Amino acid sequence: MIHLRSVALKPKNDTDSYPFSLPIVQSLNLTFTNDVTILVGENGSGKSTLLEAIAAAVGSITVGAQDAARDVSLDHVRMLADSLMLTWNKRTRRGFFMRSEDFFGYAKRMNEVRAELIEDLKRTREEYKDKPEAIGYASMAYAGELHAIKSYYGEGLDAQSHGESFLKLFQSRFVPDGLYIIDEPEAPLSPNRQLTLISLMNMAIKQNAQFIIATHSPIVMAYPNATILSCDGPQLEPIAYDEIETVSVMRSFLENPDAYMRHLVE
């Protein structure tokens, strides 16, 4: 389901300073026509900056060490976020914004929360040790939260491989009617696990999710019927999968890797 219908730049903005100086920002008038919109382009084209600004404007929950409103790593896009006009088909507060590097902060925070709950539970049981009939009620909240964390993440996100825990996070946080703004989700994932991610996305879309993704992965770019937009020109432009430079280079390399290797090691 398309929750966020369009994003455009308000008129009369300072276009001389970064990030307003980015060509794709200066000409921004983006309409979402599919459940999955994928931004592609070289590093420096502005796709990640645009994604961050949209997330800040939406007020997305950030999967990281802090929420979007307090995340200092988003400070450089807040002026841009305030200059964006958002049009909604159906306003949603569900979903999240995530960059691949945010995972480490999230895993750290969840471990800290788990440790605090365990200490609170121990302290509560000690305080009520002379009142066994009250221990259950006094410790119920802490025990319940610990059980919820375990049911979502097992023994902990850091108890699994990076790729496994990354997918576990996605699986546990996908909810109906969510808007998911994700920057380079392929970073910790092998090709097989990228296919698993696509399967998880598909399940979420069946529950009315919308995805806006920036990626370098030909696998993620291949999501069926996704709208693919190139950020390499003076404005966002639709681009066919087979015309994406990353796809062409990867295909050419896989067909004849020796040709590339010989050139690189001569």
Question: Whats the size of the chain, residue-wise?
Answer: 266
Domain range holding 96? 4-101+178-241
Which pLDDT value is given to residue 139? 57
* Strand-by-strand arrangement of the 237-238 sheet: 95-99, 179-183, 210-214, 36-40, 227-230, 237-238
pLDDT 10s digit of each residue in the chain, 266 long? 999 999 999 886 656 788 998 999 999 999 999 999 999 999 889 999 999 999 999 988 876 545 666 677 788 899 999 999 999 999 998 999 988 767 655 655 555 555 565 566 666 666 666 656 655 555 555 455 545 545 544 555 444 445 677 787 777 778 889 999 999 988 878 899 899 999 999 999 999 999 999 999 999 999 999 999 999 999 999 999 999 999 999 999 899 998 888 877 76
Question: Considering its fold, how many domains does the chain have in total?
Answer: 1
* Other Cβ atoms within 10 Å of 138 Cβ, number: 14
CATH number for the domain harbouring residue 20: 3.40.50
Alpha carbon distances (Å) from 234 to 20, 102, 249, 263: 13, 29, 23, 32
Find out whether 80 and 10 touch, Cβ atoms under 8 Å: no
**Entry pTM:** 0.78
- In a domain, residue 202? The reply is yes
Q: Which two tokens stand for residue 131?
A: 């009142």
- DSSP H/E element including 85: strand 84-88
